[in-house]
Chain A
Amino acid sequence: EPEVTQTPSHQVTQMGQEVILRCVPISNHLYFYWYRQILGQKVEFLVSFYNNEISEKSEIFDDQFSVERPDGSNFTLKIRSTKLEDSAMYFCASSLEGQYNEQFFGPGTRLTVL
C-alpha cells in the first residue's frame, strides 16, 4: 500500500539554525500539507500546497516558514531560523484532491531545537 514517507525521523538543531524537513507524498496525490504537534497538544494545520503554490496557511506559518516541491516527488518544509518553540512533531500529509478526500499522513519528523 502506498504511503507518505518523511525524513529524517528526528532532527536536533541549535536555535537560529535553518532546518529542512523532507516528505515524499503518495505519488498520484495532488494536494500536500504540513501539520505540527507540540508535545501534549493538538495537531495543528500549518499549510496546504496545490499546483505548485500555497493554497492556504495558518497564522503559525509566518515568514520563517516556507514550502517547496523541488521535483516531482519531494515536498519540503523549511524553517529559516529555528526558535525553541518550533520544537514539535511535524507531519506531512497528502490527498488525492482537496475537499472530500481523506489526507494520508507520514510518520512525522521530531524536531528538537536546543
Chain B
Amino acid sequence: AQSVAQPEDQVNVAEGNPLTVKCTYSVSGNPYLFWYVQYPNRGLQFLLKYITGDNLVKGSYGFEAEFNKSQTSFHLKKPSALVSDSALYFCAVREYSSASKIIFGSGTRLSIRP
C-alpha cells in the first residue's frame, strides 16, 4: 500500500532562515507526490507536485521540493522563511493503482518566529 510519512509534528524556524519540512514515501510504482498547505479555517492549498522529470520542483510562494528516489524522500524547502509561512503542511502521494485517490501524511505544523 502507498503511504507518506511526515516525521516531525512541528518545525520551528526563525524568520529569514531556511526551512525544511520532511516527507518520505512508500509506493509500489512511480510516485506522484504533492505538497499542500492549510492555513487556519481554510481548505488545503496546492503548493507543488512531482510527476516526472527534474528532481527539484518549484512551487507557489517561493517553496520548492526535492525528489530523491534513493532515499524515497520529497522534502519541502524554502531558502528564507517568512512569518506568513506559518501553517500546517501536508505531503501527499497519488496511489499508483488509483486514477484519483490521494493519500495524505499526518501534517507538519510550521511555525516561523519573527
Contacts and interface: CB of A to CB of B under 8 A. Distances in A.
Interface of A: 4, 6, 31, 33, 35, 41-45, 48, 50, 55-56, 58, 91, 93, 95, 98-100, 102-108
Contact of A33 (B41, B43, B90, B100): B100
Interface residues of B, number: 23
A99 B99 contact: yes
B106 interface: yes
Interface in B69-114: 90, 94, 98-107
B46 A103 contact: yes
B45 interface: yes
Contact of A43 (B45, B51, B100, B104): B104
Given A42-B107, A45-B103, A58-B101, A104 B46 contact: yes
B102 A45 contact: yes
Given A105-B36, A108-B43, 6 more contacts: A42-B105, A48-B100, A55-B99, A102-B34, A103-B102, A107-B42
Contact of A91 (B43, B100, B107): B43
Contacts of B32: 99-100
Interface centre among B46, B51, B100 (most CB of A within 10 A): B100
Contacts of A93: 44
Contacts of A104: 46
Given A31-B100, A55-B100, A99 B94 contact: yes
B100 A56 contact: yes
